[in-house]
Every structure is written in structure tokens, then in C-alpha cells.
Structure 1
Amino acid sequence: MEPDAPRAPHVLDAAMFWSTHPTGGVRRVLSAKRQHLLAAGWQHSLLVPEGEGLGLIPCGGISLPRSGGYRFVVDRARAVSLITQARPDLIEAADPYVLGWASLEASQRLGVPAVAFCHSHLPALLERWASQLGGRWAGQWARERAQRYLVRLYGGFDLVLAPSRSLEHQLRHYGLDQVQYQPLGVDCGIFRPAARKGGWARWLKQALGLPPATRLLLYCGRFAPEKRLPLLARAVRALGPGHVLLCVGAGPCTPRGSQLRVLPPVSDPASLARMMASCDAFVHAGDQETFGLAALEAMACRTPVVLSSRAGLGELGADVALAVDSACPADWADAMRQALNEHEAPRLDRALARARTLDWSRVTDMMMRRYATLLNPAEAAQRCVPQERPSGQSASVAAYSFKRL
């Protein structure tokens, strides 16, 4: 009698930031991750506030006004119950709030590994918010409390993943030794230079009531204070007539300006890729980004990119993007002008090459190796070496098969 084939590993992602708009950064990351895990023969579930579809487990939450469709999860007990009922082999929390604690509690009940992915820099976000309300000392106080909170929460996880080296170093500085660098990815089969369509750009300008010669600069993402969209608006105004900033997204801080146009989120990846490849440049002034998913997609389209030199954007765009370490509109305008008028092929080629090293197929393979090590540390080395497998069995399942602990 032949032995039963190894059961495919079951990963459950718990994510509060799953917007009703299918364009939020966390949602796009988890959707791509799910697609690749399933293709590799793994099982995958998503615990989110709301949603319908195979693999989705809605846990409910309070609607956040002017957030772009997000909900805040408050019922920790229900989330724990739903996770334990799903009986995953590994749980990953995508945010450090109620679902973070629920993931940790459920992992302890089930006796399975718990992973935390640090998608946002909570100390920096709270510091900005508190500083605006109470000044510099209030901001410093909020940052220190947030650091202690993260140490208390993340200290219970088996593994903490950071999408940039800079964030990895910061978390280690807080005292978290189980942090590892795990970049995010891009689908280079969709986001590619060939996505550029000159006719589409002409049609868009006509639809927006713009002259054909208008230079379009693109921002794509959430409309939030930390994105510093007013800075981009002032910089485009400094460029003078004939330049327009196209802001695609949603959020509480809708940008405004005579040289701005706002469009809702684009749900279709191919349409988003066409937009990114056809605009004249991509710009992002966020100084608290942990990675920069939209910037990576623009790089994969070989579109000139102007980014903040700080945090994850600065790291992602090092030596391949025009970086600005300033809050002065004139400095941003100078960088935008250079991106529009000096199409340096070597820089664009380097950006494209970097993006291709972060194709989702490579990134998810790295994730699966990390998961496999957690699921069965004693056999991790053997599983990472290709071995003969029964015909019809997925290579990834054969490589990462394990016995439930």
C-alpha cells in the first residue's frame, strides 16, 4: 500500500487593511501572495473584516469614515475563534492591532507558528499624528510608547518580517531579534515596458480636458497625510503650465490643486500597468513608507521615478530613482523636471533590472522557504533541496511537505 501524499501546508493571513476597493497596498500584496501559494500547491485562507469569495473569512469591523473602505476589527474573541476553526498550519498577521493579538492567541491555542509582517511603521505614524496635535515632545512620547507596544506584541511571534533593510534594522534596534528582511514583489508579466500605450495617454488627456502636450506625473496610492500629497501639488505648480499631477487612489486627504486631477482606484492590474507605463513619470513623496509597492511597479514599467530618499522608498530607489531629501517644493520640482527632460537610459535600465529581481515568483519562493523552516525546522534543509517526487505532485508541496507538529 502506497503511503499517503503529504498534505499541503495551510497558511492563514489575518489582515485588517482589506479595503472594499481592490487596490489597497496590503490587499494587493496578499492577493498576489495567495495566487502564488495556490499555484505552488499550498492551501491559503484570508481573515479580513469583510468580503466574499473562496478562501475569505469575514470577521467584521467598525467602518472607518473617509478611509477608503477600511474597517477596524474590534472583536478579538471572534477573530480567534474563526482562526482556530480554520485550523491553519501557520498564521501571519498583517497589522499590529486587534488581529495581531488574535493571531498570536490563535497560534498558541493551535500550537502552530505565528508570523508578523510589518507593513506599516507604527512609531513613525503615531509620532507624526501626536506632533501635529501637541508638538515635538508629544510626538517623541508617542513614538516611544509605540515602540514599546510593538516589542510587547511582536516579541511573542516566531518570526517578524520587514519589507526593507532599514525597517529590519529599526525593529532589531528595538530589541526584536527574530526579524528578517522580506521584500514585496511585482508581477513583471503585467507591469512591463510593453504596457505603454501612447494612444491611451492621448485619450486620457482628452478625457481630463487637458491639451495633448501636457506632461502627466502620476501618484498612485492612499490619500493620507504621510504621503505628503500637498508637497507634490506645490511642486507641480512650480513646474508651471503644461504639467499635471494625476492622483489615483482614495483616502481621507483628497489632494486638491489647479494642476491636479483625481481618479478613483484602478482595480484591474493590466489597466494600472498601462497607466504607469504611459505617464511621463511616477512620483511619491512619502517619508514613512516601509517599501513602496506602486513605485516598484512603475520601475518595472521602465517609467522615470521620483521618490523620497527616506525610509523604504529611499532604499528601494537607491541608485535607480531620482531621490529627494527635502520638504521644499522647489527641490521636488527640480527632480521632476529632470525626470521629464533627461530620460537617462542607464538609470531606467537599472530600475527595470531591480524590479525584475523582485518578481512575485521569486519573492513568494523566499516566503515559502521561511514558512517551511518554521513548520518543520529539523527537516528544513532537506526540504529546500529539490528531490524526486511522485508524479503529479507539486514541486513546491514536495519540497515543503511536513508533519503537523
Structure 2
Amino acid sequence: MHIADMTMFYAPSSGGVRTYLDAKRRRLNATADIRHTLLVPGEAYTHHEDDHRVNVPAAPLPFSNGYRFPLTRRPWRRALRDVRPDLVEAGDPYMVGWAAIASARELDIPLVAFYHSDLPTMISNRLGNWSRPLINTYIKRLYAHYDRVLAPSNVMAQRLERLGIEHVRVQPLGVDLKTFHPSLRDASVKTELGLSEETRLLVFAGRGSQEKNLHVLLEAMRKLATGEHQPYHLLLVGSSMPTQVPDNVTVINHFCPTAEIARYFASSDALLHAGTQETFGLVVLEAMACGIPVVATRAGALAENVPEGCGMLCQPLDSEDMMQSILALFENDARKMGQKARAHVERHHDWNIVVQGVTHHYQELLGISTTARASVQHG
């Protein structure tokens, strides 16, 4: 079984899409009777057989930290003719998605899409609500050509089904349980931040984009600064973060390597997330894998990923409720909640479990018996 993945969302600073693809291709290429090839944008057409990767020429996207935007289907169709997979999965709804449709039809192979981003919401946030019906129509037209559409959460699957898209399945994403681990807890992090040992350290990591609603976190921290309780401090890590913040907030305003993020997570006491439009919320599960609980909004996919006993959910866009949820978390046994959070991720979001689930979709579409699963060869 030869699987090809293709996407434009693969750059040095890429987030969840690249994490998913790298985790999947490592495991599939280590599995008996399965081969995986990754097609991603590059400067020129090059086939890296040792890395199971094909670079497809695409124009650089200015001010995008290394992304490239495909302008034509032709080189992607050529790449799939050269690779000749048994099944192709497309990871973005733009030119690559249409190229995958044409190639799957030409090669007579099954076609899968992974719906990583909520495109109608993302575009309407920038252009206004008038654009949503147009994008909904576009999405429905695109995915009508696919044999299966994978969505990372129930809330995203339901949105696709409401548009009339068929063959939608929920396929959660995973976490690297070795990279994100409670053993990375480092008491010196608080020292580096100039904090006392009794300060409760809260953390958020990601892009400081509008939909993350960081103003809610900042207002909650202002409220916490005035109460008679143990001190709280928030660490914001990532690009495009706010620069004017309360005294009990520290900002690391640049992209940090994964290992550094994992150290910050494991060394904090809880993760905060005020986003209302998350399609999955991988950062929440990464923090939970590090053994810390989560305070998040009851919106989007976050409500699915923070089960009872692993943290607290608060009302969207409500800094007062966010503050009260933080206090309630620590009035309970926050450390025990963190342990439950780690156990939940181990049971449901280990990448080995996730990739087995994805492989099951491929086997169904190819008519391969799933009674005898291939096993990953760990070295």
C-alpha cells in the first residue's frame, strides 16, 4: 500500500499540519507493506528518495516564514504521475486540493482530504460575514469530489455535514508523548522569569492572532493581580504576541523550538486558552501530555479535548469567568488533574494510535482487510 500526502502547509515554522504529516510518514514508512511519500512545495522539482519526499515548484509567499503558494496544478499532477500512489490525501483546500482531484481521477485511485482549517470562519474573520456563503459553496463543491473527508473534531465534522458534504469521518490528531512529557519540569524556569517558588505559573503558546482572544487572558490576569490569594503569572510564548501587558505577564515574542515549548509547558502549573474557533487545539493536548491541567473556553474543539477532571471550561470571551475558573482549578487538586490529563492523552492521542486510525481509513477505501493490522517496527 503506497500513500501520498500533498499540501502547501509545510514550512520550517509550520504548526499542526506539518506535525501530523511528519508523525504519520515516520510511522507508515516503518510499517511492513506500507510506503508513504510526501509532496510539498519547494524551489525546484526534486525527488528525495531517501526522505520519501518530493519538492514541487511553487512561488514563495512573502512575509510568511517560508511558505510557498502553488499557482498551477501541472507540477503537482506530474509529481503524482511519477510517484504513482495507491491513494492520495490532500491537506489544503486550494490549488493542491484541486490538483489532487484531477490526479486521482487520472490514476483511478481513492482520494482523501484532511480538513485542518475552518476556511469559512477564517476568511470571514478577515473579509466579513458576507464572504461566508461564498466560501461555504466553494468548500461543498471542492469536497464533493473526495471519497472521504477527515475532520479533527466532532464540531468540525458537524459543520461539514451541515454543508451537505458526505463521507465525513472524525479523525483526532496526536501528540508526541516523548517530546511532551512531565519529566521535563524544570524549577529553574520560574527563577529565569524572576518568580517566587509559590507563584502559580500559567502559560499559553501559539500565534498571537485575533482568534486566540489573548485580550481575555490579559484581562483575567489583571483581575488576578488584585485578589488576596497566591500570586499568578502568565507566560505568553510565540510570534505576534501583544507588547503592552500587565506586570504579571511575561512575553516571549518569537517562534520557539518544540523542545523549548515542552519545557515551558511541563514547568507551568496550567495552560490557558481563550480561543473560540479551534478546529482541534493541539496545543491543549501537548500541555496535557506534559502533565498540566487546562483552563479553556467552552467553544470549538476545546470543549471536546478537555474532559472532566483534566481542567476547567469557562464561558467564551468572559475574562471574569476565566479568572474564576483559574481560581477554582487550584481550589481543587490541580496536580491530580494534570496527572489525569496525561493519562487521557496517552489513551487517546498517542501518535501510534492515531496513525493506526488513519491507516484504517486508507484500508477501507482500498478494500484491504483490516482484521490483521500491520505492526510498526520500532527501532
- Choose from 130, 144, 156 the match for 1:155: 144
Output the CA distance in 2 between the equivalents of 1:247 and 1:164.
26
**Residue 61 of structure 1, CA deviation:** 3.5
2:313 equivalent to 1:323 = yes
1:151-190, aligned counterparts within 5 Å?
151-190=140-179
Tell me the distance in 1 between the aligned counterparts of 2:235 and 2:168.
37
Aligned match of 1:6: none
Q: Structure 1: how far apart are the matches of 2:236 and 2:61?
A: 22
Paired residues of 2:293 and 2:335 also in contact (CA < 8 A): no
Q: State the shift of 1:65 in Å.
A: 4.3
User: Map of 1:120-135 to 2, 5 A cutoff?
Assistant: 120-131=117-128
For residue 39 of structure 2, what is the aligned residue in structure 1?
47
Aligned match of 1:37: 28
1:232–1:285: 8 Å Cα contact kept in structure 2? yes
Larger mean Cα displacement after TM superposition, 229-238 or 359-368: 229-238
Structure 1 365/341 Cα, relative in aligned 2: closer, same or farther at 3 Å?
same
Comparing 322-331 and 178-187, the one that deviates more? 322-331
The aligned length equals 362
CA displacement, residues 197-221 of structure 1 (integer Å, 9 cap, x when unaligned):
323x24xx42x45555544322122
Displacement, 1:272? Answer: 3.2
1:87-139 CA distances to partner (integer Å, 9 max, x unpaired)? 122111111111111111111111111100010111121222233xxxxxxx1
Per the alignment, residue 230 of structure 1 pairs with 215
The two structures have a TM-score, normalised by structure 2, of 0.87
Q: Any conservation in 1 of the 2:241–2:251 contact (CA below 8 Å)?
A: no
Q: RMSD of the TM alignment (CA)?
A: 2.5
Q: What residue is the counterpart of 2:370 in the other structure?
A: 384
Q: CA deviation at 1:395?
A: 4.2
Mapping for residues 68-217 of structure 1, pairs under 5 Å: 68-131=65-128, 139=129, 141-199=130-188, 201-202=189-190, 205-206=191-192, 208=193, 214-217=199-202
1:296 pairs, out of 270, 285, 292, with 285
The normalised TM-score by structure 1 is 0.81
Aligned pair in 2 of structure 1 residues 221, 82: CA closer, same or farther (>3 Å)?
same
- 1:338 corresponds to which residue? 328
How far the C-alpha of 1:232 sits from its partner, in A, is 1.9
Distance in 2 between residues matched to 1:264 and 1:153, nearest whole Å: 35
Structure 1: which amino acid aligns with 2:250?
A: L
| Equivalent of 1:262 in 252, 256, 264 | 252
Shift, 1:347, TM fit: 3.6
Are 1:365 and 2:356 an aligned pair? yes
Q: Give, as a single letter, the amino acid of the residue that structure 2 aligns with 1:296.
A: L
Shift of 1:359: 0.8
Q: Tell me the CA shift for residue 255 of structure 1.
A: 2.4
Distance 1:78 1:65 in 2: 21
The offset of 1:192, in angstroms, is 2.8
Corresponding letter in the other structure for 1:37: L
3-state SS, counterpart of residue 255 of structure 2: coil
**Cα distance in 2 between the residues matched to 1:339 and 1:28:** 30
* Shift of residue 50, structure 1, vs aligned partner: 3.2
Segment of structure 1 superposing worse, 277-286 or 63-72: 63-72
Residue deviations 1:42-76 (CA, integer Å, cap 9, x gap):
22222222389622322244444444433322222
* TM-superposition CA deviations, 1:142-186 (whole Å, max 9, x none): 222111111100110111001111211221121112101111111
> Is 1:218 matched up with 2:215?
no
Mark the runs of 5 or more structure 2 residues left unpaired by the alignment. none
Q: 1:176 to 1:366 in 2, by over 3 A?
A: same
The share of aligned pairs that are identical, in percent, is 35
Paired with 2:65 and 2:296, the residues of 1 have a C-alpha distance of 24
> 1:156 is aligned with what amino acid?
H
> What letter is aligned with 2:321?
D
Contact kept in structure 2, 1:185 and 1:359, CA below 8 Å: yes
- Give the distance between the partners of 1:309 and 1:245, measured in 2 at CA: 20
Q: Matched residue of 1:217: which SS?
A: strand
345 and 244 in structure 1: CA distance in 2 versus 1, 3 angstrom threshold: closer
**Equivalent residues of 1:160, 1:178 under 8 A apart:** yes
Query: Is 1:281–1:340's contact at 8 Å kept on the other side of the alignment?
Result: no
Structure 2 SS opposite 1:49: strand
Q: Is the 8 A contact 1:24 1:221 kept in 2?
A: no
Gaps of 5+ in 1: 1-8, 132-138, 388-393, 398-405
Kindly indicate whether the alpha-carbon contact (under 8 Å) linking 2:12 and 2:66 is maintained by their aligned counterparts in 1.
Answer: yes
Question: In terms of mean alpha carbon deviation, does 153-162 or 253-262 score higher?
Answer: 253-262
Tell me which of 226, 241, 245 is aligned to 2:234.
245
Please report how far the alpha carbon of residue 341 of structure 1 lies from its aligned counterpart in structure 2 after TM superposition: 5.2
- Other-structure match for 1:28: 19
Kindly provide the CA deviation profile for residues 370-403 of structure 1, in whole angstroms up to 9, marking residues without a partner as x. Answer: 101112x2xx3xx22238xxxxxx6469xxxxxx
Change in CA separation of 1:358 and 1:255 when aligned onto 2, cut-off 3 Å: same
